[in-house]
Structure 1
Amino acid sequence: MEANEKSVLGPFWGLASNDNVKQLQSAKELIVLLRNSQDEHELSSGSGLCDNLSYSVERLVRGLSSNRDGARQGFTVCLTEVLSLFDCVSVNEVLQLVDKHLMITGSARAQEERGAYFGQVCALLTIVRSGRIHGVSLDTICALLKRLHILANKKLYLREVGMVGTVQLIREVGSRLSFDENILPLYKQLIEGGWEKCTPDALYLLLTLLEIYSKNETLKKLVKSKWNHKWLLHPDNFEYLATVLKESTFAHPSVHSVWPVVLDAVRKKGHLTLFWKTVVDESVIVSSHERKYLSFKLLELLLPTLDVSEVVAVFTPNLLRCLRNNLSGADNYLNKAAKHLVGCIATTIGGSTDKSIQVSFLLQLQAQG
């Protein structure tokens, strides 16, 4: 390795750190080194990648399969920045490196297989999030979409992250894709499955498709015939939503990506009270520990933006009873989660400049004991 190549090795250790600040510092350091090396290379030879950049891109892609500390996160962030800042690194080159380093071999152990699959998804996400997706051909976009579709259906642990990548890709370049020609062939079975076969991931994708392709006649007809209403989140569908959304706890302890989308949509339509009663209060809260935990996290999501009427709607007797029960003893399963939620409530009340909101919070808490 040449002397100037050795200087890029240091930041890679920081990229694998569990410390987010150290990760970002290392990424910035590596980017600066690569920019200087590439600028010098272009001045002397005029084209292609310098050795440092070529080496770093390959190592970043290869490292996406690492299960060590924060390596995958750090390498994903850094590769996204490299793709964003260095147009000379082609998307096709990254895909070739994915095929070279992140494919599953017959001898791979379970942990290695898991790492490689996650690495593939992360590599595709870097292409979308870097903005480079806008500069590739339609054929490449379709190939990326197909890869994400295959990965999302490969393993249960890949479903949400694969669907997140799919949704982000469609949001970025959906206008270049034909619903009938490019989307429907991959997702026809999902769309035609209706509520009986719906999953949180399917709902997340379908809500996106209905937003991006709202005028597509094929999609409108399929939704009308299979999903009861042209708007999936119609109050008549809340019972179906309760069944689907309580299954989102496979993502525990994270909140599945579909929830913020659903909550935002029902609030805009003024249906939060009925939604919360049907889907959360009568379904999620009265179930397993994981689902009770989910109800705490959903309330935490809503806290900063609740209005007076919504405070009454979400601080239900069921939720507050669950909160109180888990605060009663340090050995209770959700004790830490309950304490965290109480802290969030206190912060919201203390930080609000709206007296009516503060009073509403306090009255509701007092009314429920």
Structure 2
Amino acid sequence: MSVEMMEVSVSSAEPLRPAGILQQNRVFLDFFWDLANPDQEVRLKAVENLIHYLKTENKADELEYTFKRLVDGLAHTRETARPGFSLALGQVLSAFEDISLQSILDRIKEKHNLQAVKRKLARNAMFGNLFGVLALHQSGRLVKEPQVVLGCVQLLQCLIQHKQHLKDLPSKTMTDILTEVTVFEEVLLSSLEADLASAFRTPEQMQLLLVALQHFPQALKPKKLKKLLDSSTIINADNIQKLVEVLKMAARSVKKKRVLPSVALDLLKLSLKEDSFQLFWDKAITEGMFKEPSGPTHYLSYRLLGSALPLLSLSQLKEVLSGEVMMHYGEHVVSAQVSLSFKFPSSIYKEKCKLITYSNIIW
């Protein structure tokens, strides 16, 4: 069925009742109060009850009112309320598939237009757009409306420039969307070319390229990469210093979270796939990351070391476990009495100790 045939106006099913009837229905209106409740359990219950009510009553004016309130609530001044309205919008769209996503995307863009909103409300409008895209994504229907996918990506591209407010959420959302769509080359590639060509500027843009490579390798063959990056591969001698800078930015961005940035692990996996692991490990990690004083770049390397072990061959294990990164990690454990956050999972130790024994690796 075409997108045009799927588009049904929420107000066309039956004539709208007088607004007074809505005002009298306290049960219905209370759902929206509960969606803004700070208690997550209350919000989740409100979503469930709202959908049950709409399906049972099947009244066009209440469905229309629901979309109005939910779209408005995406930019709620109370930060804890926005996820509730976003989740509700996504679930209502999932339950009422005759409502086109394009019509809701248009509502979101019109209501939270960053060009028209007052300056003091601009931040709320940014979140309104972001949570609107999240709702469309959570509906599970994006794959059915390719043009809406494009519209969402373009909206997220506009939001990326507001990093001081939204941090890396627009980039992460775009990456999540890419993992699910099937229309990359036909619909998204031309729109994303500038972002893909800027992969070495930020960890988020590099992550976007890596995800696109994983899911759409046919669209990003070496010839296409050469056009985008002036290089047919990502990990090579010419790009090492740029990769080091990306990894440094990634390390600093998760300093307080104490986690391994996904871009680092994905680059490691790509190096194994491209048969450039030795170059990546020696030049980008061992030399590049340890030029910095002890801090985020070292911790990223330790975590990457732990995550790398299950992925490596015996010969690669020998190199890594007798190399400088392992030596630095050992020194760190001894000198800092390292906390649990920097210890390798016991499951990795058990699995790899067997391999180490068989290959006579000396720690």
Give the alignment's TM-score, normalised by structure 2.
Answer: 0.71
| Structure 2 counterparts to residues 56-205 of structure 1, below 5 A | 57-58=70-71, 60-63=73-76, 66-68=78-80, 72=82, 76-87=86-97, 90-91=100-101, 92-93=103-104, 95-97=106-108, 99-101=110-112, 103=114, 105-108=117-120, 113-114=122-123, 116-136=125-145, 138=147, 140-155=148-163, 158=166, 160-175=168-183, 178=186, 183-184=189-190, 186-190=191-195, 198-205=201-208
Could you give the per-residue CA deviations for residues 157-198 of structure 1, whole angstroms, max 9, x where no partner exists? Answer: 65743233333334433526536xx533x44545556x8x64
Q: Distance in 2 between matches of 1:321 and 1:176?
A: 42
Runs of 5+ in structure 2 lacking a partner?
Answer: 1-22
Cα 1:303/1:199, change in 2 over 3 Å: same
Q: Distance in 2 between matches of 1:357 and 1:75?
A: 51
What letter corresponds to residue 38 of structure 1 in structure 2? L
Contact 2:112 2:129 in 1 (8 A): no
2:3 aligned residue: none
1:20 aligned residue: none
Could you give the per-residue CA deviations for residues 6-53 of structure 1, whole angstroms, max 9, x where no partner exists? Answer: 552575366x45xxxxx4x445423331232012212xx4x4644884
Q: Distance in 2 between matches of 1:66 and 1:56?
A: 15
| Structure 2 counterparts to residues 220-299 of structure 1, below 5 A | 221=223, 223-225=225-227, 227=229, 229-234=231-236, 237-253=239-255, 255-288=260-293, 289-299=295-305
Question: Which of 202, 210, 216 does residue 207 from structure 1 map onto?
Answer: 210
Contact 2:159 2:170 in 1 (8 A): yes
Deviation at 1:284, TM superposition (A): 1.9
Contact 2:160 2:171 in 1 (8 A): yes
Contact 1:80 1:130 in 2 (8 A): yes
Contact 1:163 1:201 in 2 (8 A): yes
Contact 2:289 2:298 in 1 (8 A): yes
Aligned CA RMSD, in angstroms, stands at 4.1
Q: Distance in 2 between matches of 1:37 and 1:237?
A: 57
Cα 1:300/1:28, change in 2 over 3 Å: farther
Could you give the per-residue CA deviations for residues 312-362 of structure 1, whole angstroms, max 9, x where no partner exists? Answer: 4444434543564366347xxxx5xx43222x4335335x4x762475899
SS at match of 1:231: coil
Give the alignment's TM-score, normalised by structure 1.
Answer: 0.70
Could you give the per-residue CA deviations for residues 181-227 of structure 1, whole angstroms, max 9, x where no partner exists? Answer: x533x44545556x8x643333233334455664559x854532564
Could you give the per-residue CA deviations for residues 27-85 of structure 1, whole angstroms, max 9, x where no partner exists? Answer: 5423331232012212xx4x46448844762465234x6445xx555655554444333
Deviation at 1:156, TM superposition (A): 5.7
Contact 2:309 2:348 in 1 (8 A): yes
1:328 and 2:335 equivalent?
yes
Contact 1:5 1:51 in 2 (8 A): no
SS at match of 2:97: coil
Deviation at 1:232, TM superposition (A): 2.0
Contact 2:67 2:89 in 1 (8 A): no
Contact 1:296 1:341 in 2 (8 A): yes
Runs of 5+ in structure 1 lacking a partner?
Answer: 18-22
